[in-house]
Structure 1
Amino acid sequence: MKKVIMTAILLIGISAMAQDHNRKEGRGNRHMKDLTPEQMATLQTKRMTLALDLTEDQQSKIQALFTKNAAERKAKMEAHKARKESGETLTDDEKFALRNERLDQQIAQKEEMKSILDDTQYSKWEKMRQKRGKHRKGKDRKPKAE
């Protein structure tokens, strides 16, 4: 009888933890997918304004940049989704071309941000970007040496 009760408690605990994990995991992505590119750009611009204390001119330039990037990103996500649903897979050359294009866009965005922000704002933006990148790629990080 004790074994049955312990097994039941163990199964309930495991299922409760699994449900909680799934709920947290999808919270942020679903919200952003429902927004238009303009709405995403507005939210990003306002977050950056709060973090970097941007001027009106900087806000308008960054808003335009984020709107353009969000529209491109949304179009690429739709194309990827259509390709995935049709069962089409990319060749190694196509994957290389996509990665190369993404890196070129990141370089261009970095240059654009450098021209819009002043030196202190740019260095703070770089730190924010690196922190976000480390958080996002947590799976790829090497374990700490103990």
Structure 2
Amino acid sequence: MKVFMLALAMIIGLSANAQGRRGEQRERLSPEQRVELQLKKMTLDLDLNEKQQAEVKKLLTERSKKHEQAKAEIKEKKEEGTKPTADERFDMQSKKLDEEIAMQNEMKKILTPEQYEKFKEMKEERKEKITKRAEKFKNRERR
């Protein structure tokens, strides 16, 4: 009986500790720091030269600024308590896809064909990873 009570106390203590950590917010990186890390990762994975690094950094910086602006607009609307209409959601999605197409075209110009193929593969792997994480999160919520 003592062993059972001890085990129960340990389980409760560990689960409470784990839940406390999950709720903590970690400090976010600045947009410049995220761009720099993203560029370094791409340089390692795609073997970018100096010229390519400069062009990709410029592209990532522009994309990051647009993303931050869009995030601020969404946050502002959320604080006001207004939800986007179907047309506004359509426009946001359309704009996002247009920017993605533009990014893809620019990357195609900057990278060699081999690098571009590897870039596309990396992008697909990222999508799969995000999808798996989302499914895992949904499954966890159902429990």
TM range (shorter): 0.7 to 0.9
2:28 maps to which residue? 31
Kept in 2, the 8 Å contact 1:41–1:70? The answer is yes
Question: What SS class does the counterpart of residue 88 from structure 1 fall into?
Answer: coil
Tell me which of 117, 122, 128 is aligned to 1:123: 117
RMSD: 2.3
Q: Distance in 1 between matches of 2:14 and 2:35?
A: 41
Q: Distance in 1 between matches of 2:135 and 2:96?
A: 19
Is 2:95 the counterpart of 1:95?
A: no
Give the unaligned 5+ runs of structure 1: none
| Fraction of identical pairs, as percent | 32
Give the TM-score taking structure 2 as reference length.
Answer: 0.81
Kept in 2, the 8 Å contact 1:52–1:121? The answer is yes
Q: Distance in 2 between matches of 1:140 and 1:94?
A: 27
1:21-100 matches, cutoff 5 A: 21-22=22-23, 27=26, 30-32=27-29, 35=30, 37-100=31-94
2:20 maps to which residue? 19
Q: Which structure has the higher relative contact order (CA within 8 Å, separation 6+)?
A: 2
1:114 maps to which residue? 108
Give the TM-score taking structure 1 as reference length.
Answer: 0.79
Q: 103-112 vs 14-23, which deviates more?
A: 14-23
Kept in 2, the 8 Å contact 1:40–1:67? The answer is no
